[in-house]
Amino acid sequence: MRYVCGVAIGLMLLLMSGGCAMTGAALYKVTGPPDIPAKHELAKVPTLLLVENYRHQSSVNAQAETLARQLADDLQANKLGPIISLDEVQALRDAHPKEFPTMSMVELAKELGAKQIVYVQLHSADVSPLAGGTGYAGSATATVKVVDGTTGQTVWPIEQAEGYGVTAQTKMGGKHYPTAADVRNMLYADLTVQISQLFHKWKPEYEGQGVHDTEASK
């Protein structure tokens, strides 16, 4: 009798452990993996978003402006900031075209009323045609850091002087991009998401995500 009871208890424990595993797998399919935390939480103070590059020609500066507009919208959508209007930044640049490139972080912050600066340096944004003229490929790299608007000291990342690096690129065998503009739009969108996610929690993509999101919206 004691033997039978032992076997029964063993079977019950086995079924319970299997049930937990099955429940966990089912839960993962519905809720997905856990959220990824922000690498740095921005203070809720007036924030200057500055995207630029001193190492390249004006064409890259124009690309930096495009990235800045997209990134400002994304940061605001995720309730980060408040972000100082990029139109105010442009107005200061237009009013002082010679002085603006040499103004320090502290001077810019003082002029625009910023307490912190999200500084993005776009190092590259290269697009080239694929062999055989079947489309375009490209890549872009940037570094990101947060600077105290009063002291000019780097707040984050402390251990990386140039800033936290992010990279976007087309993938071999991935989506087809028929024009150079299509590739640039993808690169800017990818960099925007990566940079924004540095400052807020986010959920990685997972199998079945689209299906459950659609069902939840019904």
CATH superfamily assigned to domain 47-197:
ABC-type transport auxiliary lipoprotein component (3.40.50.10610)
HSE-CB at 57 with a 13 A cutoff on CA atoms is 2
pTM, two decimal places:
0.79
Sign of CA dihedral 179, 184, 187, 189: negative
pLDDT digits (tens, 9 = 90+) for 185-200: 999 999 999 999 999 9
pLDDT digits (tens, 9 = 90+) for 39-98: 999 999 999 999 988 665 555 578 889 999 999 999 999 999 899 999 999 999 999 999
pLDDT digits (tens, 9 = 90+) for 93-122: 999 999 998 999 999 999 999 999 999 999
- DSSP-derived 3-state class of residue 190: helix
